[in-house]
Amino acid sequence: MLLIVYTAAILLSAALLFMVQPMAARLVLPRLGGSPAVWNTCMLFFQAVLLLGYGYAHLITRWKKLPGQVAVHTLILAAGLLALPISIRAGWTAPGPQQSASLWLLALLGLSVGLPFFVASTTGPLLQRWFAGTAHKDAHDPYFLYAASNIGSLTALLAYPLLLEPWLRLSTPGASMLPPRLLPLSQSTLWALGYAAFAALAIACGVAAIRRARAADHSAPAQTDSRAAPITLPARLRWIALAFIPSSLMLGVTQYLSTDIASIPLLWIVPLTIYLITFIAAFSRRGAFIIDPARIALGILAVAIAATFRMSDKAALWMLLLLHPAVLLAAGLAWHGRLARQRPAASHLTEYYFWIALGGVLGGVFNALIAPAIFKAVYEYPIILSLACLLTLWPRSIGWKPRQTGLFAAGMDLVAPAMLAAAMVAGDLWLARHPDADPTLKAAMQVWTPAVLALAFMFRPARGALAVAAIFAVALARPGIAEPVLHASRTFFGVYRVTEIPATPVTIGDAAGTRTVAVLPRRLFQHGTTTHGTQFIDRALARVATSYYHRSGPIGQVFQAYDGSPRLKDVAVIGLGAGTLAAYTPPEGVMTFYEIDPEVIRIATTPALFTFINDARADRRARIDCIAGDGRLQIALEPDGRFGLIVLDAFSSDSIPVHLMTREAMEIYLRKLAPGGVIAVHISNHYLNLRPVLEAIAMDLRLTGLIGDESAITSLQQVLEDKRVSTWVVLARDRADLAPLIGGAAWTNLFSRDPNELAPFLWTDDFSNILRILAAR
């Protein structure tokens, strides 16, 4: 029974820790927007409080005897109840222009979630230390309870997006989407109930620990335990490193998959799930048996992934979606297994967990803050993966002994990978001069030979790991394979690339038969795998709106239908991309772009990359303003009734800014819309069907709407002008405001569902459900 109580308390506290972070972020998002400062402040706040909680657990076990520890912690648990339920208290308004948003956010988080989060963060190490002082048969090695903590984290990780967010509102009591047979709760209320249960379990653990203390020395401060060896500085540094590498690698895999492989909603859950599973496995009772197989797998998988970086064409999607999580699993098991194997005596448990937490935090800081500032692509991923291979030294663990020894062998560990790198560079140069080389020869030179040599080098761990690093380095140093890279940059929001696409042959079939035509050279702007716009290089065609904004597409039809109307004299656009919509600005008209990332503004206004904005300014004397900041917050500052047309173009990627498409956001847009004005929303998306969300919002706000869904390229001219199919929704207060579009071949009535079916799709600042619109696709 004792073990059940401790396990339940630790599991529940970890689940609460994971749940509260997305809840808090969603609370502040509508007020502060999705800028990097907001996300970074939230991340640093929670990581700092987590470390503070671990530090508290360590210090209280040093300074207080067990009864004192339980008494102090009971008071802190009770104090945490005073901050519940989690919400933004009345009177808290968004900071003004002269106020620091970061300081405002830190104060808000501290008052709303700081104390409960701090208390929950102390539980894992503190309760394990208390358990170690009981007479339970497993008390001598309580680290298996760390697996329970990670099971709690994993449960919350999966439950929040799959169960809680789709069915419960954030903080409005009694307004859930639950079936009538269940109690209607908000997420905040549910968290408060969970905290109360956790507090009761934690107090019960403390009482049980006092009653079952094995001897008087277990009630003394842990520092008097003479049976445990003192912790050395090298041991602390090893714990930090063993936690740092998997943490950084997990974030690197997540960023690489979403940036370079596939923009799939909720894909980030997979690496984080694997990361937690490795902790669970490593700290289980059989965790020591997984280290050696994991080391072997890590070396093989690292070579395979390095080989995919060398491929001229991308490997199959299914292969990449298996390889990258698999290498994270192998590295996590190897490194967390070593971390578990090096655990100290229970008297040093709290300090051990503090250094583990610090290593994990440093991994997050490196990937989230440092890497975007120093790398133009997701280079941290191959760097950390190469480092993980180098430091794991997997062949030695299974008894393989190098044939060479001494200084010569050590020198060859450096020379052999360098020679491999030189050979790959020479091969690439030769292939560049012989573009018609046999594909089999090309694959052998670029991929298979380096991969086989790297595997052969693995009999010397350092040599094999450096060979992997050499393959990565040569692959990343090469310029674009299919097209030149004109610009590459990276910010908090991801990796941007502008490439030059040469004339592209396209085979089409029409009334004249099947033929092959060439799309003229153009520039392509991509954010990860999401296209933000294209523009022809030929100056005679550079002013032609292309891709999703083609003049024969839905948004092009909107601008043509209202041509000459006062509506187009002042237009707002949330989301800039390449600035293609500036091509529709009328003479002396005004178009204001709101873009959250200043780097996108720099790309769109650099004449060597894109000229839509500069051409509109020069040719039509239009006023094109580009305002950096969150679109919802920035447009809210404009005078009411200013804009005749508002375009929302921020929903094409997998990670859509939900706060820009809620009922409250739409109410802001309507206030800024002139009488008779129109709102156009771009909802083209590979995975998410946003139509029912707009239907529900329009129905709730008594708006009328049309949907323009052009699913095919219908003419040779459209092919030559690089048109892409797109889906747009237009909304207005009155049906007459949409009269110029009604009857058009591409436009149909927006409302296709029974009003009673739309309730689960009504997004507000308090409720959204990504899974439902994913399923609706």
Residue 479 CB-density burial (10 A; 0-12 exposed, 13-18 middle, 19+ buried): exposed
Overall pTM surpassing 0.95 (yes/no): no
Residue 228 confidence (pLDDT) = 63
3-state secondary structure of 753: coil
Residue 616 confidence (pLDDT) = 94
Cα(first)–Cα(last) distance of the chain, in Å?
48
d(CA 710, CA 336): 51
Q: What is the DSSP string of 371-430?
A: HHHH-SSSTHHHHHHHHHHHHH-GGGGGT---S--HHHHHHHHHHHHHHHHHHHHHHHHH
3-state secondary structure of 734: coil
User: Which parts of the chain have pLDDT scores under 70?
Assistant: 35-36, 90-101, 172-184, 213-228, 260-265, 312-315, 393-406, 478-483, 508-513, 654, 711, 714-715, 717, 775-777
Per-residue pLDDT reduced to its tens digit, 424-461:
999 888 887 887 888 888 888 888 899 999 988 887 77
Residue 165 confidence (pLDDT) = 86
Residue 317 confidence (pLDDT) = 73
Let me know: does 692 contact 761? Beta carbons within 8 Å.
yes
The two beta strands, 623-628 and 643-648, are unpaired
* The token pair that represents 496 in the structure block: 């941007």
CA 760 to chain centre: 25
